[in-house]
Amino acid sequence: MGRPTKAQAQVWTQELLDTARALFCERGYAGTSLDELAVRLRCSKHSIYRRFADKEALFCAVVDRDVAGFISQLNASGTTGSSPQEVLRAMARTYFGFGASRDHAALYAALNLEAATSPRLRMLAQQWAAQALAPLRDALAIAMPAPDPEELCDILIDLLDGAANRLRLSEDIPGKIEIAFSVRWSFFVSLQAQDCYAKAAKHDQLDCC
């Protein structure tokens, strides 16, 4: 057989990333070996090393692809809203859906566990998080201007992540996800409204002095 075409090579690389991702989710980073990956792919380890220098490089490629897919879906959801507030809500809902996904959580559990003892992966995890959340932070800054938009976004993320973590343990995620998100979204909006009202009232008091 001749050398694979560029298209065939790209297809195989995606299959490699898919299989590696499944293995990282099942075994974690430390428990994943390139030997087992080669067996699952029915290829030689040399075929893997031709594309990735080592396990860390492969893991980074898997996470890079996930982050890019997440950002793409986040941006796509933002096109469905007719106002800045609706855009933000749609993006927050997409974020919550990812957070409640066991498949999504499994990969990031592997990342977070390894990042606890690997300074390099810890640095990369921070960079990936910043990239992934950038569209949501930008949408929030437009929809709900605040003196500290970073802090406001962190509050929204904390609200959603806490609920998503509990929801993943449920046996009825599809049946509970909408109400879980709606409750937290309404609470977040009400908190922001109260904060704006308090600031406006304080401003009025200062004007009267």
> Higher pLDDT residue, 144 or 193?
144
Distance from the Cα of residue 40 to its chain's centroid:
27
Which residue type occupies 196?
C
pLDDT of residue 153: 92
Angstrom distance (rounded) from CA 180 to CA 96: 9
- pLDDT tens for residues 8-52? 889 999 999 999 999 999 999 999 999 999 999 999 999 999 999
Angstrom distance (rounded) from CA 150 to CA 155: 9
Q: Which CATH class, in words, describes the domain spanning 56-208?
A: mainly alpha
- pLDDT tens for residues 40-84? 999 999 999 999 999 999 999 999 999 999 999 999 999 988 899
CB 115 within 8 A of CB 125: yes
- pLDDT tens for residues 114-138? 999 999 999 999 999 999 999 999 9
* Secondary structure (3-state) at 185: helix
pLDDT of residue 4: 75
CB 78 within 8 A of CB 37: no
Q: Can you list the alpha helix ranges (DSSP code H) found in 78-118?
A: 84-99, 102-115
